[in-house]
Structure 1
Amino acid sequence: MIPVQLTHKSLFLISSIILVFIHQFSEAQEANPLENIIGGLVTYADINTPEKVYLQTDKDFYINGETIWFKTYVLNGITHSPRSKSQVVYVELVDSKDTIVARRKLYTASLGASADITLSEDSQEGIYTLRAYTKYMLNAKEPIFFKKQIIIGAQRKNPNEITETIFENEKTDTLEKKAVSLGPDKPIVQFFPEGGDLVTGIESILGIKITDKEGNGLALKGKIFDQNGNLESVFESYEFGLGQAQLAVAPDTNYYLRIQIEDKTFDYPVPAPLLNGYTLRVMNMGSYLKISAATNIANGLRGALLVGHLRGGLIYKEILKKNVENRYTLKLLTSKLQDGIAHFTLFTPNGEPVCERLTFIENANNAVKLSIKTDKTDYGLRNMVNVDMALVEDDGKPLDGDFSVSVVTQKGLRKNPETMKSWLLLNSDLGGVIPNPNFFFQEDLKGREFLLDLLMLTHGWRRFEWTSFLKGGVRKALDFPPEKGIMINGITTAFDNRHQPKRALTTLNVFTEKISQEVKQTNAQGNFSFGPFFFQDSITAVINAKSLPENKNSHNQVSIYLDPPFPKIKVNAQKEQFAKSTTKVYARPYFIEAQRQKITDYKHGPKITRLKEVVVKSKRKTEQERIIEELNSRTLYGEARNRIFPDSVPWMQNALSIFDILRTVPGVQVFGSFPNQSVQIAGLISFRPVPPLFLINGMRVDESFIRTMPIFDVRFVDVLKGADAAIYGMRSAGGVIAVYTKTGSDMPVTQKRFPGVANATIPGFYKTRQFYAPNYALTIPDHNKPDYRTTLYWNPDVAIKGETSSSLNFYTGDSAGTYIIRVEGITSDGRPVNKLFDFQVLESFP
């Protein structure tokens, strides 16, 4: 080895290189937490993008027998653009007992889907919830579904008998300050230090929320004292009980809030300040944000991380410089930001989140103007109304948008309802906990920006928690992939142990006009998935499964368990998040008005005919004749010559399949033993055997479906031959075996399971009905009846394209009063829009 002599100069050079390397390594180490956080946000925004669903109804109040017309919008949860992952959305109507009374499965071809729910005539009066979501949303720890409360009334002989009982859990629509009448109850006070904590030696803003025991906000005044009784700050709460106080926290000092109501005094301890900690303040000046981070820890901000995101999309990131010690302030312009909740978080150098603050961004550059114009301001009864709509930016530049439009009586709408803007920009990110979110978007409301900032100060962002987020919580494999169509999913298990998954080769047989078949191998957990499919009528399917050759055990039979067609979700009743005040709402006038239309429909309905009194004499049918007539009504051919009832077969309990009981029918030959059986009807003239046509309740199915069908589900089986089968044409050359299942209360609750096979009826997407609106330019008999419709017009697919305005028209009815044109939708770049426009219908019009 050759010795190397180092000079002072070379030693200095090497030392410098080592120091530079250490410095760069140290900076890289410091950057890692920021890189992890930024990477996590990018993953969240680009890969695990959340979805939001919004639902608009034609009106807010209904009575039994009416139809709820609605449209759902499925959007990217960050950009609010229509580029969402899911193309399947679920809508459910839930009653006050959390029972699903109606549900719809809809396909969203582009931005959303429209549908309807007709309320039954025996619907119970009360407050219902419309819930809309995608299955992809179930991946979240606490999914945020869209929920809208609607009031459904019941028809009465006297509409004025409508009671107030259905309003007991309805949140007030008025936003006047609640009069304080607490009785012996003490107001409930919550404290929200800005950034998260009060810290000794740092002046802070203390958010305060005051409510009664039912959650109603109280408008009160109070004072903050230190432990020695010295006045430190004053306080006043406003709408929703929100307020704030400024507090300079001194060392070794405790504080309390005092509220005095008449002759009663209530004291509340303020949260104890941290001896050492961080604070984060955000002052929203409209055109810019002033953000200040502070700490009482020596050099505590050196290398700290400050991150801001809007709806989960990154808008600010910075690692604080070495020269930053205990305080850091920045100015962030909002001119290029989208509207919505901005979320700022301060991290220590090791990536621990210590402070966070929400603020609401309203960028004037994002303003959208939707103009609605009618050809007249007043109309007579049964007049045509022409409407033009145009959409432009604040500077007049035309925009594209997709909208749904309803025209209803003013009595059919609530005051201050949830809108697409208030849901997408506010409530969907806060978890749906704001009872009157549209209140904060009233442009003519004095102090609106201040109240909106108080709301941000006292609420947290709900889309994810940093603790689980930094541990990779949003990067885990999805339990519920985005649905692109109807999926047929399930699992294969050991036949004698449902909890033991088994790999198998599965075959899906779908019976429609064309029989299709698809084969897939399950994964190691036994899961299989077929699809996506698109169909609107329900289809019959049979899934077969065979153990893979690698399973040499001869007793290794498998069972098949299919996932239900609708998701099973944990119901978290949103009504519990709202106040339970007993306040009058504006449903009563609507119920009185809507009942007139129901009475008119009843009197003039096509099924109603008034007859003179007659006496009818007839021979009473025997019970046997009645049963035979009822059974024959289910068939196209009446009564069959060969009809067999499984219940009448003495040895039926030993039969394993329908084919077994067919052995009792003359001329029917059954080959093989269960489950490998086939059937042929003898005596038919043919050059070669032709299989019979198999039907279940009149619908054509495959032989394998009949072979594996539980015999206990069968009411009767008809066997048709020759001329009797001719009604089914050439398909019945081999005869017909028609199976009719039990219905209603006759349907058994137990079903027999067979190895390696499962049959199911798969419901398709809901097919929306067309909204009917009369054209009074035509003279037809149906127009002679009175028209008291409360919804004059519903169109869920109104598109506005660029400079071309969108036009629509409809006719008024026979009810005078104020009508509202309600328009909601979204621009092509993700800006929500909603607007109301009213016009008058007069009894007498020139």
Structure 2
Amino acid sequence: MKNIFFLLLISSVQPVLSQTKLEKAITNLENNYEQEKVYLLTDKSQYVAGDQIWFKSFVFDGYNRTALSTTLFVELYNSDKKLIDWKTILLTNGEGSGDFKLNENLPEQVYFVRAYTPYMTNFSEDFQIVKMIPIYNPNATETLEIAKNPNWSAKVFPEGGNFINGMPTKFAVRLSSDTSLPENWTGKIIDAQNPNVSITTFTSFDKNVASFKITPTLGKKYQAIIQDNTGKKQTIDLPQVASTGLNLEVSSSNEGVRYSLKGVNLKQQLQNYKIVGTINNHLAYKANITQLTNDASSLIPTKVSTGANAVLQLAIFDEQDNLVAQRLCFIKPNNLKIEKADIISQNLKQTPRSFNSIDLSPESYFKNYTVLVSDDNGNNNPEEENILSSLWLTGDFTTKIDAPAQYFSKNANPEALDALLISENWKRFDWNSLLNGAVPTIKTSSQKFLSYKIKPIKDNAILKDAPVTLALKLGENPPSVSLFKTDQNGYVYLDNLNFNEPLGVSLFVNSEKNKESSTDNLFVTVEPLINPTQFKGNFPNTKYKLVKATENKKLPIAISRAINNQKNNKKEENIDVQIEEVKIVGKKQDPKEELNKQLSSGMFNSMNSTIFDFVNEDQHAAGSTNILDWLQGRAAGLTFQRNNSGENVPYIRGNQAKLYLDETPADPSMITSLPISNIAMVKIIKASGLIGDAVVIYTMKGGLKSKNTGKETKKNNLAIVKGYDKPSEFPIEMLDDNSATKIENDTRETLYWNPNLFESDYVPPRIKFYNNDSAKQYKVLIISFDEDDNLLYDNRILK
């Protein structure tokens, strides 16, 4: 925060020749505590096994999109912390997108998506995003159910942290639960010695918080009795009343944040007390009290946050630089600085399977948009979380907040947000640790893009301080050759690489005198400098529980629609498969069929198969990491899921396929270690006899040789490197009533997903999609940032 506002409560101050303990702590904070946070938008809030999860990530440094990181790891776990899949996402201006294809056989349970940059691993794992996603499976033996009659606990928090004799004090009451919170609750404050008389009462603002005010008397014990709408009660003690200390009161308006300090029985009153305001770990405000006084107050103007919304942490220090009070408050709660989308035209219809479009203004300061259009089913369910609540609340606070988006909705109650912030603490740093000189250990720097460590080996010896030649081949592009020199440990480093296709790294070394140059004695390994880290924490508890599924279990409407949508997709896939089978049957005898007869035994011969011939045809597979990676997207109905070792496991129509190597059962590790140059044929078999669904790999044998002279042979001097995961393209569905697929009921929920809609050649950015069979109105979510990181957030219903 570069706009720092200093306030002196007297007209002059003595010059300071050296930094005080507090000033050193502030310098430490400014220099060492830069931190990031992530918001992850998914196209839906719940899924069915076999669905595709589309996600867009926004990474912030404070309240601006990050410039620290260009890489984000996004991981999918089950409830037992088993890694299901993971993606390496490229961040451009703090934004990146991707998707997960869910296996049809996933058990029904709550899954979790974890997202973090490598730089974020330097700090507490609690600040990495862990997003809960329920995934249903109609064939599961256990089903998800929302827990009823939740258990909850309550705490009370005095404003500023102190409860002093004779000082009117505002309290926040905060409920928490491992599952869910009661719909509403009330409470009263009593003197423990006179429990039948209420001193004051309160009613919850929402499920999370309430507030009340009380003036305490020294020696009395106060208690809060809280009761929820089901009749459950809990009694908790208020803090002990102190005879001395500092009372802090804070209020926020559009003009700024006003604070008032009152000292009670302090030796030197408030003289030499300091008020420090920080925003996102940066100094934003500082004031010194140099007079003998028990009362001090001031207005912190909104310019400390350049007029933007922000959470301000106020900390009060005594004359010895000890922390004596602190408080969080929100700047301009009644005036959120959010832009809306400029829609210049729309063509929306309610007719089933009709074409719809929405045009955004080409003259807007916002040029790149994230857009989600969904069927609005009329339930009017409020958002649980959005980019606003992540930016201003949940990205920085690790305690569970129920429906945080409500605090920034159209009808939000500023008192509720203020009470919530009284009950929270800023945990990204600790003032007492800072005052003691503690500095975080930065083990992982904020490197740009991807970097790799290459180890060249010749004749089983590491080459140290030696010249080597590396040929780098990206996908189907021609290789580029460069001369490098290994360091004293025998390594070469490739830094700041941005690619999403397989990268081949080949090693060459000049031949010794009177010896023929050869690559047979060369070996090369490539290791990424930054890898995903193991998750050590615990996933948050959820409101769901697993119960035994009944024969006619009731599914949420959205899940029933998703299941029907999957059936529609399978109809389309089956048509594609049938067309492919007809093509194969109708062909005359050709070299591929001859190869199949030569390599396949009777059990592995099936009419329902797809064959890839590596002997007679150039399959352009030399740039692929392994044959399973090459197969992705090349056969209808064949998909892949990564296992815990990061290897692709094949699935055919949602069922895990068997793997065979020369008709002998194999596992993915055996297949991925096989050089593609040794492969003669690959056969995809679907639902055939005793074999079932299978991927069969045949190797070169019996004198087989590739007839394609342009085919490359994999050598030991070649390593294949995986870069960023390339996002899949979201399909713009158009279902024709007369098509061969005969889709009877289109029940898609997500009608349009585009994480990167942009203006080109002054053509208005256009949102275009086809209706399903039932949508009468549409939920349209639009997010964007301009060059100054001003936020556009628009979530509306269009008809």
Per the TM superposition, whether the score is higher than 0.5 is: yes
What secondary structure is seen at the aligned counterpart in 2 of 1:439?
A: helix
Q: Are the counterparts in 1 of residues 63 and 391 from structure 2 also a CA contact under 8 Å?
A: no
Structure 2 CA distance for partners of 1:375 and 1:258, relative to 1, 3 Å: closer
Q: TM-score, normalised by structure 2?
A: 0.71
Instruction: Verify: 1:314 aligned to 2:299, yes or no.
Output: no
Partner of 2:71: 88
Partner of 1:68: 53
What stretches of structure 2 of length at least 5 have no aligned partner? 1-11, 457-461, 510-523, 548-552, 583-596, 618-672, 680-696
Partner of 1:808: 767
Deviation at 1:109, TM superposition (A): 3.2
Partner of 1:273: 241
Deviation at 1:458, TM superposition (A): 0.7
Q: Are the counterparts in 2 of residues 308 and 315 from structure 1 also a CA contact under 8 Å?
A: yes
Structure 2 CA distance for partners of 1:194 and 1:772, relative to 1, 3 Å: same
2: CA distance, partners of 1:837 / 1:811: 18
What secondary structure is seen at the aligned counterpart in 2 of 1:357?
A: strand
Deviation at 1:456, TM superposition (A): 0.5
Instruction: Verify: 1:361 aligned to 2:318, yes or no.
Output: no
- Equivalent in 454, 474, 486 of residue 450 of structure 2: 486
Q: Are the counterparts in 2 of residues 63 and 594 from structure 1 also a CA contact under 8 Å?
A: yes
Deviation at 1:442, TM superposition (A): 1.8
Partner of 1:532: 496
Q: Are the counterparts in 1 of residues 275 and 315 from structure 2 also a CA contact under 8 Å?
A: yes
Q: Are the counterparts in 1 of residues 353 and 734 from structure 2 also a CA contact under 8 Å?
A: no
What secondary structure is seen at the aligned counterpart in 2 of 1:220?
A: strand
What secondary structure is seen at the aligned counterpart in 2 of 1:594?
A: helix
Q: Are the counterparts in 1 of residues 253 and 332 from structure 2 also a CA contact under 8 Å?
A: no
1: CA distance, partners of 2:767 / 2:600: 59
Deviation at 1:135, TM superposition (A): 0.7
Instruction: Verify: 1:40 aligned to 2:24, yes or no.
Output: no
Partner of 2:375: 409
Aligned pairs for 1:54-203 (under 5 A) are 54-75=39-60, 77-81=61-65, 83-155=66-138, 165-168=143-146, 188-203=153-168
Partner of 1:382: 353
Partner of 1:329: 297
What secondary structure is seen at the aligned counterpart in 2 of 1:729?
A: coil
Instruction: Verify: 1:727 aligned to 2:707, yes or no.
Output: yes
Aligned pairs for 1:557-576 (under 5 A) are 566-576=531-541
2: CA distance, partners of 1:203 / 1:455: 19
Q: Are the counterparts in 2 of residues 90 and 106 from structure 1 also a CA contact under 8 Å?
A: yes
What secondary structure is seen at the aligned counterpart in 2 of 1:368?
A: coil
Aligned pairs for 1:367-446 (under 5 A) are 367-372=338-343, 375-376=346-347, 378-390=349-361, 399-400=365-366, 402-411=368-377, 415-431=382-398, 433-445=400-412
Counting matched residue pairs gives 659
- Counterpart code for 2:394: N
Normalized per residue, which structure has more helix?
Answer: 1
What secondary structure is seen at the aligned counterpart in 2 of 1:429?
A: coil
2: CA distance, partners of 1:465 / 1:544: 53
2: CA distance, partners of 1:201 / 1:528: 70
1: CA distance, partners of 2:177 / 2:614: 66
- Counterpart code for 2:135: I
Q: Are the counterparts in 1 of residues 338 and 792 from structure 2 also a CA contact under 8 Å?
A: no
1: CA distance, partners of 2:96 / 2:227: 53
Structure 2 CA distance for partners of 1:167 and 1:834, relative to 1, 3 Å: farther
2: CA distance, partners of 1:31 / 1:267: 47
- Counterpart code for 1:428: G
Structure 2 CA distance for partners of 1:535 and 1:132, relative to 1, 3 Å: same
Which deviates further from its counterpart, 263-272 or 245-254?
263-272
Deviation at 1:623, TM superposition (A): 12
Q: Are the counterparts in 2 of residues 197 and 279 from structure 1 also a CA contact under 8 Å?
A: yes
Q: Are the counterparts in 2 of residues 54 and 423 from structure 1 also a CA contact under 8 Å?
A: yes
- Counterpart code for 2:174: K
1: CA distance, partners of 2:349 / 2:525: 64
Deviation at 1:453, TM superposition (A): 0.6
Deviation at 1:718, TM superposition (A): 5.8
- Deviations 1:152-194 (CA, angstroms, capped at 9, x unpaired): 22256xxxxx99932447xx9xxxxxxxx78xx8x63312111
Q: Are the counterparts in 2 of residues 51 and 84 from structure 1 also a CA contact under 8 Å?
A: no
What secondary structure is seen at the aligned counterpart in 1 of 2:161?
A: coil
Q: Are the counterparts in 2 of residues 487 and 532 from structure 1 also a CA contact under 8 Å?
A: yes
Deviation at 1:358, TM superposition (A): 0.5
2: CA distance, partners of 1:522 / 1:215: 58
What secondary structure is seen at the aligned counterpart in 2 of 1:345?
A: strand
1: CA distance, partners of 2:64 / 2:202: 38
2: CA distance, partners of 1:532 / 1:264: 58
Deviation at 1:34, TM superposition (A): 4.3
Q: Are the counterparts in 2 of residues 282 and 292 from structure 1 also a CA contact under 8 Å?
A: yes
2: CA distance, partners of 1:293 / 1:544: 73
Deviation at 1:455, TM superposition (A): 0.5
Deviation at 1:404, TM superposition (A): 1.0
Partner of 2:569: 601
- Counterpart code for 2:274: L
What secondary structure is seen at the aligned counterpart in 1 of 2:352?
A: coil
Structure 2 CA distance for partners of 1:600 and 1:518, relative to 1, 3 Å: same
2: CA distance, partners of 1:377 / 1:737: 54
Q: TM-score, normalised by structure 1?
A: 0.67
Deviation at 1:471, TM superposition (A): 4.2
2: CA distance, partners of 1:245 / 1:391: 50
Q: Are the counterparts in 1 of residues 89 and 724 from structure 2 also a CA contact under 8 Å?
A: yes
Aligned pairs for 1:738-817 (under 5 A) are 762-774=721-733, 785-786=743-744, 787-799=746-758, 806-817=765-776
Q: Are the counterparts in 2 of residues 53 and 145 from structure 1 also a CA contact under 8 Å?
A: yes
Structure 2 CA distance for partners of 1:569 and 1:202, relative to 1, 3 Å: farther
- Deviations 1:653-678 (CA, angstroms, capped at 9, x unpaired): xxxxxxxxxxxxxxxxxxxxxxxxxx
- Deviations 1:423-447 (CA, angstroms, capped at 9, x unpaired): 11111111262231101112224xx
Partner of 1:455: 420
Structure 2 CA distance for partners of 1:462 and 1:765, relative to 1, 3 Å: same
Percent identity over the alignment? 20
- Equivalent in 342, 351, 354 of residue 321 of structure 2: 351
2: CA distance, partners of 1:331 / 1:315: 13
Partner of 2:267: 298
Deviation at 1:356, TM superposition (A): 0.9
2: CA distance, partners of 1:823 / 1:163: 39
Deviation at 1:790, TM superposition (A): 2.9
Aligned pairs for 1:692-731 (under 5 A) are 697-698=675-676, 727-729=707-709
1: CA distance, partners of 2:318 / 2:159: 17
Structure 2 CA distance for partners of 1:334 and 1:805, relative to 1, 3 Å: farther
2: CA distance, partners of 1:236 / 1:730: 78
2: CA distance, partners of 1:356 / 1:329: 15
1: CA distance, partners of 2:124 / 2:469: 33
Structure 2 CA distance for partners of 1:731 and 1:422, relative to 1, 3 Å: closer
- Deviations 1:659-710 (CA, angstroms, capped at 9, x unpaired): xxxxxxxxxxxxxxxxxxxxxxxxxxxxxxxxxxxx9622599xxxxxxxxx
- Equivalent in 533, 536, 557 of residue 589 of structure 1: 557
2: CA distance, partners of 1:534 / 1:629: 43
Q: Are the counterparts in 2 of residues 289 and 333 from structure 1 also a CA contact under 8 Å?
A: yes
Which deviates further from its counterpart, 133-142 or 258-267?
258-267
- Deviations 1:228-264 (CA, angstroms, capped at 9, x unpaired): 6675443433312422222223333332234578999
Q: Are the counterparts in 2 of residues 254 and 272 from structure 1 also a CA contact under 8 Å?
A: yes
Instruction: Verify: 1:224 aligned to 2:194, yes or no.
Output: no
- Equivalent in 288, 306, 310 of residue 340 of structure 1: 310
Bigger Rg, structure 1 or 2: 1
2: CA distance, partners of 1:586 / 1:26: 74
- Equivalent in 257, 260, 284 of residue 252 of structure 2: 284
Q: Are the counterparts in 1 of residues 110 and 135 from structure 2 also a CA contact under 8 Å?
A: yes
